[in-house]
Amino acid sequence: MKNLIIISFFLLMATAVTAQEVSTVSVYSDYSMPGVKRIAVNKIDAVGGGIRVSFKIDDDSDLDLNFGYQLFSLQQDSALQRWNWDFWETRYKNRIAADLQADPRLAATINPIQKMDLYSVDLSFSHLIKLPAGFRIVPRIGGGVMFFIRRLYLEESWQKKFDASFTYEYSYRNFATNKTGNPYFANAGITLDYALVNDINLSAGAEFRHIFRTAGKFGYEQFVFNDALSINLGLTFVY
């Protein structure tokens, strides 16, 4: 069922853009601030970017195909316990405790770090509102699918004190198994364009994204927010 939905979505996009005339192509960078956080995440934000190709429906309306990428940094209460990492739970945390207890010269600082790679594809409808002095407003609404990879690693710093004048120090990263999924979302946004030169606009905008609650293999249970607000800045090339 999951694969059928994904295939159907991409077939819809392919059908929608077939034989359509390209209206604009936009490249942008963005900053994202999730609103309602999930699964005990207490801090999260992201930087990223993307490309949007708009296909003309009529003189003032477009069908937009958008590809985006965002890298999230996040903090989560009891991150290691919530990850359910078998290697940590069954072997490694006990080994660390035993080594520290066996040798009082040892000291360790262990810090869990989380990142999330988010790839998104969406299809939206937009409408152009022309303003004086080279400005135009473009509201849009649509939806799509996201593919996420949550990553956790331990940043470990160890010290062993041999005498008052010498302490051996070393550090490394210990990576856990990734968590993945592909939840679906609806989005709405608005862009303000300004004509810099012929056929090139400076674009600034904002987008609100809401993630749908899904069961099973879509990965929503491991996804870290319900909605997010993004702001973006880029260039739009008019054809």
DSSP collapsed to 3 states, the chain:
CHHHHHHHHHHHHHHHHCCCCEEEEEEEEEEEEECCECCCEEEEEEEEEEEEEEEEEECCEEEEEEEEEEEEEEEECCHHHHHCCHHHHHHHHHHHHHHHHHCCCEEEEEEEEEEEEEEEEEEEEEECEECHHHEEEEEEEEEEEEEEEEEEEEEEEEEEEEECCEEEEEEEEEECCCEEECCEEEEEEEEEEEEEECCEEEEEEEEEEEECCCCHHHCHHHCCECEEEEEEEEEEEEC
Read off the pTM: 0.86
Distance CA 75, CA 136 (A): 39
26's tokens: 């936009």
**pLDDT confidence of residue 8:** 54
CB contact at 8 A, 222 and 176: no
Q: Is the separation of the CB atoms in 74 and 162 below 8 Å?
A: no
Q: Is 25 part of any domain?
A: yes
| Domain housing 144 | 2-10+19-78+115-154+182-238
Residue 89 lies in a domain: no
In this predicted structure, what is the pLDDT of residue 224? 95
> Domain for residue 136, yes or no?
yes
Please give the pLDDT value at position 216.
78
- Any domain includes 213: yes
Q: Is residue 83 in a domain?
A: no
Instruction: Determine the Cα–Cα distance for residues 136 and 147; give it in Å rounded to an integer.
Output: 32
**Residue 99 belongs to a domain:** no
pLDDT at 239: 87
CATH number at residue 29: 2.40.160.20
pLDDT in tens, the chain (239 residues): 555 555 555 555 555 555 478 999 999 999 999 999 999 999 999 999 999 999 998 889 999 999 999 999 999 999 999 999 999 989 898 999 999 999 889 999 999 999 999 999 999 999 999 999 889 999 999 999 999 999 999 999 999 998 878 999 999 999 999 999 999 999 999 999 999 998 999 999 999 999 999 887 788 899 999 999 999 999 999 98
Confirm whether 162 is domain-assigned.
Answer: no
What is the per-residue pLDDT for 219? 85
Q: With respect to residue 59, please indicate whether it lies within any of the assigned structural domains.
A: yes
Number of domain units in the chain? 1
